[in-house]
Amino acid sequence: MSQIEKLLSVKGKPMIHHEGYIYTVERTASTKLIFRCQNRDCKARCHTNLSMDVFLSQLTAHCHAPQPNRVPAIQLKNEIKARAVTTDESTSSIIHSALRTYPLSAAGELSKKEALMLMIRRQRTVEAVDADGCLPEKLRKAYRDEDFILHEDKNLIIFTTKTNLSILKQNKHWFADGTFKVCPDNYYQLFTLHAMMTNAIIPLVYGLLIGKSAEDYNSFFEKVLVQDNFQPESIMTDFETGTIKSVREMLPNVLHKGCFFHFSQAIWQQVQEKGLVTKYREDEYFRLNVKKLITLAFVPVDEITTGFDLIANQFDDDADDLLDYFEKTWIREPKRRGTGRKKPKFDHKLWNIHDRVVAAVPRSNNSKDKRKKFTLSNDIHLEIYSDTST
């Protein structure tokens, strides 16, 4: 009888391979392990000792042909997971090295690269904490052996260094952003503080938060602000309600601005939700008018409402839902009785960036903004939409 090959499932559970068939653990007895065929339609079973190196009984027959090409795919995943834990190699380097010896005959069983990358990240997340939930020593130090952990508990972990905090203190304009795509499973988001350095916006403080409430952001800012006498003049964030409330409470004397990229993104999402994507693609006039709505962020604050009225008159009736959203959210909804308008969801001064353009301060905290300073002239006002009055 040929030798038993030990494997591990994606979840780290024991598997064995024998003559082209793969078995998974069905149950454990006091002196043996009982395996069943990985193919759930097959009733084949086998028994091994606890160390999985000897069969204790005759193997039962399979109802299907052996599938030896599955073995290299499992071996590849086992190797990748092991290297993810034991080395500091980059994700792409681990995958590239492991694929060098992968047989072409088993290409059909190979997982997509994206799935392998995700597996590595998850494995490193699992191994990133010890039994007490604390980060290992190698993750507590940054370049030049600086301490990298500012705060650590079950609700919040903050990563930064004294050097980073020094750079943050020197900068008058801060940028904050949150992402949910690269966050460990035990946390809700990765929240970062950025500042300008050599004409580029760079992240200086990283926080793993368990939620997106004002209290979550308050805890983050409280732990950072207590480190030094920070005196920023402005901070730019997205339009999350919790972020806005927290900045108001924790940085009451700091000018708060919304990110232009997130502003533009919010409008595009509404174009999608209102079923206007096809019209946007095919109707050049409609597309131009949507862009004009976005350019209201660049006009002086006291000209926003007038500008909106001029632009709104250029839309066809099928865009009424989009205009209603924009008016209620970003302008001011007209009062049902009397004259005047109600307050919008987001104040004009929050999303308008005319003053930042004039001062050559970045209008976005997103990389799509090219991370450059802007030097547009200060005559951006009603001329932006003056052609709508014709």
Cα-Cα end-to-end distance for the chain: 89
Residue 19 structure tokens: 């003559």
Dihedral sign for Cα atoms in the order 252, 217, 258, 365: positive
Angle at 220 between CA 374 and CA 126, to 5 degrees: 105
**Whole-number pLDDT of residue 341:** 67
137-258: CATH architecture: 2-Layer Sandwich (3.30)
Residue 335 structure tokens: 């009062």
Q: Which residue type occupies 27?
A: R
Residues of each domain in the chain carrying CATH 3.30.420: 137-258
Instruction: Please state whether beta strands 234-237 and 200-209 pair in parallel, antiparallel, or not at all (unpaired).
Output: unpaired
Per-residue pLDDT of the chain (390 residues; tens, 9 = 90+): 568 999 998 778 899 999 999 999 999 999 999 999 999 899 999 999 999 999 998 999 999 999 999 999 999 999 998 888 888 788 889 999 999 889 988 888 888 888 999 888 877 765 555 555 567 676 777 777 889 999 998 899 999 999 999 999 999 999 999 988 777 777 899 999 999 887 789 999 999 999 999 999 999 999 999 999 999 999 999 999 999 999 999 999 999 999 999 999 999 999 999 999 999 999 999 999 999 999 999 999 999 999 999 999 999 999 999 999 999 999 987 665 556 667 899 999 999 999 999 988 888 876 434 333 323 333 333 333 334 433
**CB distance 46 to 55 below 8 Å:** yes
Interatomic CA distance for residues 343 and 330, integer angstroms: 9
Backbone angles phi, psi at 12, to 5 degrees: 85, 15
**Whole-number pLDDT of residue 370:** 39
- Which bin fits 86, alpha (ψ -120 to 50), beta or left (φ > 0)? alpha
Residues 6+ apart with CB under 8 A from 191: 176, 177, 178, 206, 207, 208, 209, 217, 220
**Whole-number pLDDT of residue 12:** 82
Interatomic CA distance for residues 311 and 277, integer angstroms: 19
Q: What is the DSSP letter of 28?
A: E
**CB distance 85 to 123 below 8 Å:** yes
Backbone angles phi, psi at 44, to 5 degrees: -65, 140
Partnered with residue 5 across adjacent β-strands are: 17
**Whole-number pLDDT of residue 87:** 84
Return the CA Rg of the chain.
29
Residue 137 structure tokens: 């020593």
Put simply, whether the predicted model's pTM sits higher than 0.85 gets the answer: no
